[in-house]
């Protein structure tokens, strides 16, 4: 995860909540959630005139 964030220039904050004993399963869920979020963020949205969602020009 650190390598991914570093190479794409992103800042990621992860918090694993719960006292589960299987760290592998928890991290697998984190990777899957990140993949789904990135997929959703890069989809063309027909409601926005076929553009990819962006905050460019909105956030200072």
50 Cβ neighbours under 8 A, 6+ residues apart: 44
pLDDT of res. 32: 93
What are 19-44's pLDDT values in tens digits? 667 888 888 888 999 999 889 888 88
Q: How many CB atoms lie within 10 A of CB 19?
A: 5
> Is residue 60 over pLDDT 70?
no
For 9, 14, 33, the CA distances from 21, given in Å and listed in that order, are 31, 17, 20
Whether the Cβ atoms of residue 29 and residue 15 lie closer than 8 Å to each other: no
Whether the Cβ atoms of residue 20 and residue 26 lie closer than 8 Å to each other: yes
pTM value is 0.64
> Is residue 48 over pLDDT 80?
no
């Amino acid at each position: 995860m650190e390598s991914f964030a570093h190479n794409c220039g992103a800042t990621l904050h992860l918090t694993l909540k719960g006292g589960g004993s299987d760290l592998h399963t928890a991290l697998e869920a984190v990777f899957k959630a990140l993949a789904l979020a990135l997929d959703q963020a890069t989809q063309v949205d027909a409601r926005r005139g076929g553009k990819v969602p962006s905050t460019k020009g909105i956030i200072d």
